[in-house]
Amino acid sequence: MQMRYLGHSGLQVSALGFGTMTFGGAGDYFAGLGTQDVADARRLLDISIDAGVNLFDTSDIYSGGLAEEILGEALGTRRGRVIVATKIRFATGAGPNDAGLSRHHVLNAVDASLRRLNTDHIDLLQLHEIDPATPLDETLHAVDDLVRAGKVRYLGVSNYSAWMITKALGIAEARGWERIVSHQAYYSLACRDIEFELVPCALDEGFGHIVWSPLAGGFLSGKFRRGQEAPNDSRRGRGWGDIVPIEDERGLDTVEVAAEIAEARGVSVAQVAINWLRTRPTVSSVILGARREEQLVDNLAAATWDLTPEETERLDAVSSPRVPYPQWHQWDWAADRPVGPNRVAL
C-alpha cells in the first residue's frame, strides 16, 4: 500500500483508508447503511491493516457515536499504530449547544469522542460541515487550544467551500494557530465538482483531499447497470436516500466504460472507480466503504494495480462534467499562463 503525506504535513496516510459509517446500525438512517458489530469490525480492521491501511475515518454522529465506540474497541492495542480521524459538528444531543462549531460544542464534542474511542488523542480532527452561525475565529481558536492541549494532533475540514478554507488558513496564519492540513470531500467518477474550485485551492494552499463515498454510495460498484433491475440487497436498491447526486445518464455511461476496462483487466468495476480517484492530483487518501467483508477485500485490491494513461483518459472523457463559469472562461483564456512544475512558456 502506497503511503502519502497528508497535504503539506509530515503525516503519512495510506492511499486507501477505511470508513466506519457502516458500524453500529443505530437508528433507521444508519441501519440502512450497515450493522457491523465489534466482531465484524475486528475482522474488517484485520483485513485493512494487513493490506497496509493506516487511516481509519469515523464521526461522532455515525450511529449516534456507536461507530466511534466500536472502532475504539476493535482497534484495542493496535490503536497506537494507526491514524484515527474523527469528525464533529452535527447534533449530539437535543440542547441548543449540542451542535455546531462553537467553542462550547467543539470542546465538549472532542472530550466525548475521546471517551468513546477510548484514546487520549485524535490524530486528525475534522470539522464535518460548515457552521454559518459561528465565527470562524471562534472555531479555529478552540481547535487550536485542543492541539495545544495534546488532545488533537492534526486539523482538517469536510464539505467546506474553497473560499472558506482559504479564509480559515489566513486567519490561522495571522493568529499563529494550527493550520488545516486536509479537506474530506465527496469525489467520484459520478461527481467531479471538486475539480472546479477545491482542487485548484488545494494545489495552491497545500492541503490534501481525503475522498468520501468513492463509489457514489455503491452506484459505481458495477451492480447498477443500464436496463437492469437494481439489486435489493444494497444501500441504493433498498431505497436508502442517496446523499450524493448522480446524473443518471452520464453516470450509467461511465459505469459502462469502467465495466469494459474492468472486464479486459479481470478486475472489478469498483476497483476501476477507486483507482481513477487514487491518482487524482490532491487526493491523499480514498476512504473505502464496505457493508460486507468481500466488498472490502475487493476494494483493497485496487491498491495492487494501476490504470494506464489510455484507460484514465477514457474515464476522464466519459465522466467529464459540464464546466461552470468562471472556469470555462479561465480554462480557455488563461491556459497561456500555466501553473505547476516544468511550465513551458508559450
Ligand X SMILES: NC(=O)c1ccc[n+]([C@@H]2O[C@H](COP(=O)([O-])OP(=O)(O)OC[C@H]3O[C@@H](n4cnc5c(N)ncnc54)[C@H](OP(=O)(O)O)[C@@H]3O)[C@@H](O)[C@H]2O)c1
Catalytic residues: 62
Report the C-alpha gap between 275 and 304 in whole angstroms.
10
Nearer to ligand X, 57 or 178 (CB): 57
Q: How far apart are the first and last CA of the chain?
A: 39
Regarding 216 and contact with ligand X (CB under 6 A), the answer is: yes
User: x/- string (CB under 6 A) for ligand X, residues 183-202?
Assistant: -x------------------
Q: Could you say which DSSP state residue 193 is in?
A: G
- The window from 147-155, 168-176, 251-259, 288-296 that contacts ligand X (CB under 6 A) reads 288-296
The cell numbers describing 36, all together, are 457491523
CA distances from 31 to 37, 62, 223, 299, 304 (A): 12, 10, 21, 22, 32
User: x/- string (CB under 6 A) for ligand X, residues 128-157?
Assistant: x-----------------------------
- The window from 6-14, 133-141, 211-219, 331-339 that contacts ligand X (CB under 6 A) reads 211-219
- Block residue for cell numbers 493496535: 78
Regarding 60 and contact with ligand X (CB under 6 A), the answer is: no
Cβ-contact 162, 198 below 8 angstroms: yes
* Least distance (Å) between residue 84 CB and ligand X: 12
- The window from 1-9, 45-53, 74-82, 295-303 that contacts ligand X (CB under 6 A) reads 295-303
* Least distance (Å) between residue 317 CB and ligand X: 22
The residues, any chain, with a CB within 8 Å of residue 42's CB and separated by 6 or more, are 74
Cα angle 329, 332, 337 (rounded to 5 degrees) comes to 110
# binding residues, ligand X (CB under 6 A): 30
Regarding 113 and contact with ligand X (CB under 6 A), the answer is: no
* Least distance (Å) between residue 22 CB and ligand X: 5
CA distances from 263 to 39, 51, 215, 255 (A): 34, 24, 18, 12
Site for ligand X in 30-49 (CB under 6 A): 34
Cβ-contact 123, 154 below 8 angstroms: yes
Report the C-alpha gap between 334 and 328 in whole angstroms.
10
Regarding 22 and contact with ligand X (CB under 6 A), the answer is: yes
Regarding 25 and contact with ligand X (CB under 6 A), the answer is: no
Per CB under 6 A, the list member of 19, 100, 156, 208 interacting with ligand X is: 19
Q: Which residues bind ligand X (CB under 6 A)?
A: 19-22, 34, 57, 128, 158-159, 184, 212-218, 221, 223, 234-235, 268, 270, 287, 289-291, 295, 298-299
